[in-house]
Amino acid sequence: MENKKELEQITNCALCANMCKHGCPVYLATGNETVTPQKKARLVLYEKKAFIEDEKGFFDVMFQCAMCGACKLNCLYDNFDLRDFIQKERNEAFKKGIIPDETRKRVETFARFGNPNGERRLIQKGEGEIGYFISCSTYSDQQLLKAVERILAKNGDHVQEFGGGDICCGAPLYYAGDSEGFKKAAGKMKEKIEQRKLQKVIISCPTCIKMMTEIYPEVGVHLDIEFIHITKFLHTLLKEGKITVNKVNATATFHDPCILAKELGITTIPRDIIKMLGFELKEPIYLGKEAHCCGGVPGGRIGDSKLVNKVNAMRINELKETAADVYISACPTCKAVLSDIDMKDIAEVVAEQIIDG
């Protein structure tokens, strides 16, 4: 443990009664005590005190976390985030080469192509001081890209779209524990954004925003640019009448992406948009900041695909219970991994209803 304060913090968590376990999606999907926050804290404490012999088993548990922040939301202690400790253990695991296979594959792909998807073309369209960054999750979603382009065309100012190729925020490296690789990726991303002379960047992926606004400064990369999530941009366009929409006579359920809700605090804006479109909202049991994680992609925030599938299946069941006509989210990864219920991105739903003219 680096300092006394950190030791006190992790020990507090390890000695707590697990008062946040009810919110942990990995625990709820598996019923496994070991993955609960308090038990992870006990394991971190024991690892630091050299009580644990099974290093591989320990590091595996550190990758059995959605890094969604549900534990922080329900924590008794101020200024404590268990994820900071888990992240450090992931960094350690990476240095020692003890990371899950699926995570390793993503890192290897990143090393080869500069992104987690593999070979892809560079996209650069339009010009102007406002940018739309095509995240890695957005790149492979043609429907979403078309919808975004239709919306961007309605904006009064010009918007330049960029992404693909080797432009990536570095989140896959961050969650894999490749701290050096992530730092380099952050520096490269800064360069790519700054060379485009942008004042503001719109992004569909909440994780990219978290990386660029919260995590980059931690590794000494500072970007003096406003990053806004597409929901805020859509909301403004609708409120200002820059786009007008047909009213839909149907029910809709919104799945709150964990970073969008818990970290960016955006929960009412997407619901306002959905209501503006005429939908009747049918809420799932867990919503807003309490919504459970979709599980993400295997080897992403959670290392192991079996565990990803369990978390994913739980969230799909929770959403399906609303029996809504349409399921909507505001994160391209959530959309992709929740495809069993025909999930749409909020930008697609808006674009479908735009009245041209």
Partner 1 sequence: MTVETFMSQRGEVSPKFIEKVKGIVGEENVSESECDLISYSLDYWLYGIFLSQYGKLPALPSVVISPRSSEEIQSILRCANEYKVKITPFGGGSGVLGGAIPIEESAILNLQRMNKFISLDETSLVAEFEGGIIGANLEQELNHRGYSMGNIPQSFYCSTLGGWISTRAVGQFSTKYGKIEDMVLGMEVVLPDGNLLNIKPVPRRSTGPSLKELFLGGEGTLGIITKAVVSVHPLPERTIKQSFVFDSIEVALDVVRKILRGDAKPAVVRIFDEPETARYFEEIGNKVTLIFISEGETDFVKLEGKLIKRIAEENGGASTGEKPVDIWLEKRFDIGLGPIIMQQGGIVDTIEVVSLFKDAANLYSDMVSAMRAVEGAISVSGHFSHFYREGACLYITFAGFPKDPLRYYKDTWTAAMEATLRNNGSISHHHGIGFWRKDFMQQELGPHGVELLRRIKLALDPNGILNKGKLIDGK
> What whole-number distance in Å separates Cα of residue 326 and Cα of residue 77?
38
Residue 313 sits in the site that holds partner 1 (CB under 8 A): no
93 part of the interface to partner 1, by CB under 8 A = no
120 near partner 1, rule: CB under 8 A: no
Side-chain half-sphere exposure of 251, counting CA atoms within 13 A: 11
Give whichever of 30 and 267 is closer to partner 1, judged by the CB atom.
30
74 is a site residue for partner 1 (CB under 8 A)? yes
Q: Radius of gyration over alpha carbons of the chain, in Å?
A: 20
Nearer to partner 1, 15 or 122 (CB): 15
Select the residue interacting with partner 1 from 122, 250, 285, 313 (CB under 8 A): 285
Site membership for partner 1, residue 280 (CB under 8 A): no
Q: Is 101 in the site for partner 1 (CB under 8 A)?
A: no
276 binds partner 1 (CB under 8 A): no
What is the pattern of x (binds partner 1, CB under 8 A) and - over residues 144-163? Answer: --------------------
Minimum Å gap between C-beta 15 and partner 1 is 4
Would you count residue 52 as binding partner 1 (CB under 8 A)? Answer: yes
Q: Is 19 in the site for partner 1 (CB under 8 A)?
A: yes
With respect to partner 1, which residue has the nearer C-beta, 23 or 332?
23
Q: Which is nearer to partner 1, 268 or 317 (CB)?
A: 317
Closest by CA to 64, choosing from 96, 95, 89, is 89
- Return residues touching partner 1 (CB under 8 A): 8, 11-23, 27-28, 30-34, 36, 39, 42-43, 45-46, 49-54, 57-58, 60-61, 74, 76-77, 285-286, 306
